[in-house]
Every structure is written in structure tokens, then in C-alpha cells.
Chains A and B, each alone.
Chain A
Amino acid sequence: MSPLKLFCFSVLLCFLGVATLAAQEKPYFVTYTQDLEEPGNLEIETKTAIARPDASNRFAATALEFEYGLRAWWTTELYLDGQTTAADSTIFTGFRIENRLRPLNSEHIINPVLYVEYENITGADKTIIEVVGHDGQSDLATPNAEARKEHQHEAELKLLLSSNLRHWNISENFIAEKKLRHAPWEFGYAIAAARPIRAAYGPRECTFCAERFILGVESYGGLGNTDSLTLHDTSHYVGPTAQWQLPGGIRLTFEPAFGLTDSSLNRLYRVGVAYEFEHFGRRFKKEAQ
């Protein structure tokens, strides 16, 4: 067994020793809600995007997300991105660090969350975690060897607005992104709504019962940049999304998204697998004592 595999196996064993639980996550890939990670909990999620740009090869890009609840009002995340392109190569494409902060203590009809992110990725990144400016499928068609030479240091700010109204969650994100050099601000949006198939829990444990499934719809796209604040030559996507919360703490999410403009990919499939570990931080504190 290689050292890397051994390390991964050890980490997995370590995780399996920790009790798991369900969170109140929604089935969105791009849109963030008001819900933060519970304090001390660690969630590990893979978000994979599969698509084929016109006149290029199919790719699968995965963002491995580590989300940790530092406080009830502060969640921090680390993303590790990579991708594989058919008839090309498999490469690591960079990392992102983000923080989400809830400024208000109680719930309101619309709940704001502030989002700050630093990205250190290459031009070969295809995870499409957000769409901004004039991002398009032509950006995803460059061969990996050439695209990875471009290094992007970017800062991203988002205003997340989200509401839980009866059984529905409705969320809107406004995105502003800037390369940390002389480059214009790029803008984007993401909106989504979802609800569980059944609101009330049943009395017995179940795997396929209606309360374990959440259905929704998500849309996102670019809004141009400060040099050309226009929808011309921008990408937009819309698609249904579904989530299944398994009893063991695993969460599966699937979203087929459809491009709405010529710049967009025709179809973009997203698959997410998440696992949440309760009181992860406390476990290490105890071991240190």
C-alpha cells in the first residue's frame, strides 16, 4: 500500500470512530443558505461537476470541501480542487479558503450572511463552484498543460440572503470576485429554493421515507464585470436538484443543470457526497489532554 493510500485509510478509520449526524443542509451546489455548520462539527463533502464543452473533451472536476463550525455564527471552509479531462490529464488545480459570518443573532424573514473567500487556483480549475463575469465554456476547453500555467489569486465576496418560510428555503447570493492584480471586479448570482417532500418526521427509522428527500431548483450565472456590466456573453444555468439523507449520516445530492446561453455548457451534471462528524474539534482537544 502506498503512503498516500495508507494515510487516506488511516484518516477514514479515524473518522469512522466518530459518531455522525444529519444536518439541515439544502441540496444546492452553488447557492449558500443561512445555515452554518454546527459549532465543533466537521463536514466533508465532494462536489463533482461533469460536463463536456463544445469541441473539447469531457471532464470531471471535484472540489473536496472541509467545512468546520468554529462558532454558531462563524463557519470556515477549505476546498481542494482537482479535475480529470478525457484524453488529457488528471491534475490538482488549487485551493480555496472561505469564511461565512452571520451578523444577526436571531432569525428574520431574510437572513444575511457575509462570505469572504481567497482562491489560489490555476486556469485549469473546472469545479464551477460559482459562475462570474463572462465565464464560459471556452474557458473550460483549454488543454490542461496550457491552462495550469495560469495562476489565479482571487478574492471573492458574497452577500448571502436566505429565508426559511414554512417548509421552503429560498436563498439568493450576490457574488463579487476580483483577481488580486489589476483586473476588473466580476459579478455573479445564484438563487435556489428547496423543500422536503414531507415536513413531519415519521415515528420509525427509515431509509427511503419521504422526509429524507429534499427537492429543489437552482439557477446561477454571470453578470459581467466593471468594464462591461452586461449579460452579453455570460453563462447561465438552471436545473432541478435532489438530496437524499441516508440514516448513517451520508448525504447524496444530484443536480442536472442546463445551460441557457451560447456561452454556457449544454448540460452540467453535479454529484455531491457529504458526511458530517459531530464535535470533531472536541475529540482532538480530549486527546491532547
Chain B
Amino acid sequence: MKISLASALRPVLFAALRFTFLVMLLVSSSALAAQNAANIAAGKRLYHEHCEQCHRPEARGDGAKRPALRDDTIGVISDADLEKFIRNGDRRKGMPSWSGLPLEQRQQLIAYLRSLK
């Protein structure tokens, strides 16, 4: 019984492909995790510079006019809505607009706030 070279190599090729796919998945997920960690760290810097004076360290608020940003309130808001709120502010309630910060920085702020759960 003759076995062709192609059919003999097929399992090896599939195994190599599976291995490559797994390695790529691992590399990309660890790169994403590293990127997310960098965004959280950058967001923490931004929070310290712009938000901490009102919302207090680690976004705990003051229990009165200056709300905490780590409770269920922001948990149920989508990133897009949160970004829109930061951009617009609510001047009637004392929250200034942060449209002067580039979009990337507002997204880094959100990454930091999400990490505070």
C-alpha cells in the first residue's frame, strides 16, 4: 500500500498551523493586555492631573456634590456615552467640559475608571 508524501505531511502541516495560530493568539492577547495596562497607567496620570481634585483619589468622591466614579453608576454606562459625558461636561452641575483633551486621553481616562471596580 502506497502512501503519498502529501497525505503523510498533512497531519504535520495541520499541527504546525494550529501551533502558529495559538502562538499568534497568545502574542496578540498579551500585546493587548500590555496596551491596556499602559492605557490604565496613562489614565491614572490623567485622572490625577484633571479629575482627582473633585472626584478625590481613586475616584471615591466626597459623598455629596462630587460623585464617586467607581460604583454601579458608571458600570452601566457604555464607553461611548462616558466619553461623550466627559467631552460635554455638565456645566449646570459644575462639571466642566473636557473636550480640550484629545480623544485618546479621554479613552485612557475611561480605561482607568473601568479598572477601579
Contact = CB atoms under 8 A, between A and B. Distances in A.
Interface of A: 19, 21-22, 24, 26, 33-36, 38-39, 41, 69, 71-73, 102, 105-107, 164, 166-167, 169, 196, 199-205, 278-279
Interface of B: 37-39, 41-43, 45-46, 49-50, 52-53, 87-105, 108
Given A105-B91, A200-B105, A278-B53, A24 B42 contact: no
B31 to A, nearest CB: 15
Given A35-B100, A72-B96, A164-B99, A200 B91 contact: no
A93 to B, nearest CB: 32
- Which of B45, B97, B104 has the most CB atoms of chain A within a 10 A radius of its CB? B97
Contacts of A26: 100
A105 B88 CA distance: 8
B113 to A, nearest CB: 14
Given A39-B96, A71-B91, A199 B53 contact: no
4 tightest A-B contacts by CB? A24-B100, A203-B41, A199-B102, A201-B42
A198 to B, nearest CB: 9
Question: For chain A, what secondary structure do more than half of its interface residues adopt (helix, strand, loop), or is it mixed?
Answer: loop
Nearest to B101: A24
Contacts of B92: 72-73, 105
B42 A203 contact: yes
Given A71-B94, A105-B90, A200 B108 contact: yes
22 contacts: A19-B53, A21-B49, A21-B52, A24-B50, A24-B98, A24-B101, A33-B100, A36-B96, A38-B96, A72-B89, A72-B94, A72-B96, A106-B88, A164-B99, A199-B102, A199-B103, A199-B104, A201-B42, A201-B43, A201-B108, A203-B38, A203-B42
A200 B88 contact: no
Contacts of B98: 24
B45 A201 contact: yes
A69 B97 CA distance: 13
